[in-house]
């Protein structure tokens, strides 16, 4: 086989692996708060999406517009998450093309499989936000920019300019990536600067025109997050921004981060000696976002996923390090790469095992006559249990539902109990007999203890779906008032006194307020008639 055929085969197999390793999580993983936000906005009209996401929030609307279409077909969890998985698989192919231009032929065969198995990329590959699209679009634009720098054709630069300007509508932090993309061809291809700029300027002007509305979004974001007026960004793990970024880019926990980062650093040194301009171009991809989020003051947190566009360049340095360490010994180089790949696959397997143990696929679909009450339980960072009922509704279609708790982060809603009570009141106004269903998520011991307490309520049955999931349903159909009474009893059996469980108490307060208000209204009506 020729070198081109080998590359095509490796890239295709890597893309298929990326799709396959991510596919189970489409249905196994709980909803994230950001995915609930996606559901909230993407179901609106395209005009409303642009207004709500871009104009009012300063966000990037493109992924929302994509999801607007896919939530109509194929719909459900597939419509929500498969777009990201497809973008991830496509990004693996673009990573091969990008690496071929920036690093070389041997590295272009190493990076795609490493990217396909990278734990951060695999996780974001089924995350219904813009990160997989951002990775794919960044790599495609960077590859075309390197090609344009090599061909020196203005029409190539015009295509690059259009894509470059459009990146800001994929993710608001795209300007950092744009700097690395533009610097790449100027550094890699050793043309005189005047010659390079003479061919590139029409594309760069077009990029500025396309991205011009982003200046408005930037002002909105600055006001929303207090950029320049707050303390430096904190991280979710309590580490510094560079540490958090390296943990996101590498597999194998702390030990893996040390080993793989050392290998990438060795690759950087090796590349700097052989091709210093290429080393600078590759280093910009990694250094720019980490440096920016290290020094920027803003009222938000740094998440490792913000550096996803830097991952292919980082893996390229890992590949250079493995090849440089092994020298001419191909077996040694393959062994080093295989070791890194094994670390990645081990992390992926552990994640899938954890998701499978949660047991979301074993949750029963609510029947037509079943009222699905708000789910709750022990809080989980980023993927809270109060979104489990949203997941069931999304997967199995619209059902009768009583939302005593809002889907999107009730911590920031001071009127959460009042709004829940209002929903309960509306539910009580339509007292058609039905069955009730409640879902709880928590530690195995908590689930077992609640199941024992629920045995004291004869009107309901409790079924442990997995060690962490408990489903409670009424044995017979009841009117709305009785279902709310049972809801209070079921929540109380789960437990209202655990400090970490804020929402069961809030839900019970909403149920009692709604029930009390309805009974008071009914009593006033009876008194008036008498």
What average pLDDT is seen over the chain? Answer: 94
How far is Cα 529 from Cα 523, in angstroms, rounded to an integer? Answer: 10
DSSP string, 470-490: EEEEESS-B-HHHHHHHHHHH
CA distances in angstroms from 25 to 22, 361, 440, listed in the order given: 6, 11, 20
**Confidence check: pLDDT of 525 > 70:** no
Contacts of 162 (CB under 8 A, 6+ apart): 203, 206, 207, 210
- What pLDDT is attached to residue 524? 56
**Confidence check: pLDDT of 486 > 80:** yes
SS (H, E, C) 304-358: HHHHHHHHHHHHHHHHHHHHHHHCCCHHHHHHHHHHHHHHHHHHHHHHHHHHHHH
How far is Cα 267 from Cα 239, in angstroms, rounded to an integer? Answer: 25
Beta bridge partners of 438: 472
- What pLDDT is attached to residue 394? 93
Cα angle 128, 134, 138 (rounded to 5 degrees) comes to 160
Contacts of 444 (CB under 8 A, 6+ apart): 467, 468
**pLDDT tens digits for range 245-301:** 999 999 999 999 999 999 999 999 999 999 999 999 999 999 999 999 999 999 889
pLDDT mean over 413-437:
91
How far is Cα 481 from Cα 501, in angstroms, rounded to an integer? Answer: 25
Cα angle 58, 231, 292 (rounded to 5 degrees) comes to 60
- What pLDDT is attached to residue 406? 81
Beta bridge partners of 191: none
* Strand pairing category for 469-474 and 460-466: antiparallel
- What pLDDT is attached to residue 279? 98
**pLDDT tens digits for range 319-339:** 999 999 988 788 999 999 999
Beta bridge partners of 409: none
DSSP string, 170-195: T-TTHHHHHHHHHHHHHHHS---HHH
Please give the helix or strand (H or E) that residue 463 lies within, else none.
strand 460-466
- What pLDDT is attached to residue 530? 54
Q: In this structure, which long-range contacts are made by residues 68-73, counting pairs with CB atoms below 8 Å and at least 24 apart in sequence? A: 68/42, 68/43, 68/44, 71/39, 71/42, 71/43
**pLDDT tens digits for range 55-65:** 999 999 999 99
pTM: 0.96
């Amino acid at each position: 086989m020729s070198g081109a055929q080998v590359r095509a085969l490796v890239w295709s197999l890597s893309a298929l692996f990326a799709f396959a390793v991510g596919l189970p999580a489409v249905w196994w993983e709980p909803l994230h708060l950001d995915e609930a936000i996606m559901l909230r906005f993407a179901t609106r009209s395209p005009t409303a999406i642009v207004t709500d996401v871009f104009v009012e929030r300063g966000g990037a609307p493109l992924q929302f517009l994509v999801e607007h279409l896919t939530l109509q077909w194929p719909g459900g969890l597939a419509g929500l998450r498969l777009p990201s998985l497809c973008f991830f698989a496509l990004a693996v192919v673009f990573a091969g093309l990008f690496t071929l231009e920036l690093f070389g032929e041997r590295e272009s065969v190493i990076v795609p499989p490493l990217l396909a198995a990278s734990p951060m990329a695999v996780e974001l590959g089924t995350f219904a936000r813009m990160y997989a699209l951002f990775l794919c679009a960044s790599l495609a634009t960077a590859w075309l920019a390197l090609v344009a720098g090599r061909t020196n054709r203005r029409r190539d630069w015009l295509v690059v300019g259009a894509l470059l300007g459009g990146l800001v509508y994929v993710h608001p932090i795209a300007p950092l990536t744009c700097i690395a993309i533009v610097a790449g061809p100027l550094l890699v291809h050793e043309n005189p600067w005047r010659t390079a700029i003479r061919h590139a300027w029409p594309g760069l002007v077009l990029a500025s025109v396309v991205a011009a509305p982003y200046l408005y979004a930037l002002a909105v974001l600055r006001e929303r997050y207090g950029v320049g007026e707050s303390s430096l960004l904190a991280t979710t793990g309590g580490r510094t921004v560079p540490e958090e970024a390296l943990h996101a880019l590498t597999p194998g926990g702390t030990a893996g981060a040390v080993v793989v980062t050392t290998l990438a650093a060795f690759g950087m040194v090796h590349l700097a000696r052989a091709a210093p301009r290429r080393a600078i171009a590759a280093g910009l991809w990694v250094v720019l976002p980490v440096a920016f989020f290290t020094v920027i003051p803003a009222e938000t947190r740094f998440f490792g996923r913000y550096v996803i566009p830097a991952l292919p360049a980082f893996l390229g340095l890992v590949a250079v390090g493995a090849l440089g360490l092994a020298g001419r010994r191909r077996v040694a180089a393959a062994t080093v790469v295989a070791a890194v790949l094994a670390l990645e696959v081990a992390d992926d397997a552990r994640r899938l095992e954890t998701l499978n143990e949660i047991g979301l696929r074993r949750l029963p679909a609510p029947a037509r006559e079943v009222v699905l009450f708000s789910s709750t339980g022990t809080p989980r960072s980023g993927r809270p249990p109060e979104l489990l009922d949203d997941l069931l509704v999304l997967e199995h279609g619209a059902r009768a539902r009583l939302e005593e708790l809002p889907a999107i982060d009730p911590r920031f809603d001071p009127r959460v109990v009042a709004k829940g009570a209002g929903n309960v009141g509306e539910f009580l106004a339509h007292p058609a007999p039905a069955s009730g269903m409640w879902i709880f998520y928590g530690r195995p011991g908590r689930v077992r203890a609640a199941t024992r307490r629920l045995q004291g309520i004869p009107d309901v049955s409790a079924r442990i779906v997995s060690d962490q999931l408990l489903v409670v349903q009424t044995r017979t159909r009841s009117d709305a008032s009785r279902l709310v009474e049972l809801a209070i009893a079921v929540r109380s059996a789960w437990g209202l006194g655990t400090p970490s469980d804020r929402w069961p108490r809030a839900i019970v307060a909403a149920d009692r307020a709604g029930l009390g208000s309805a009974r008071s209204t009914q009593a006033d009506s009876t008194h008036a008639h008498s």
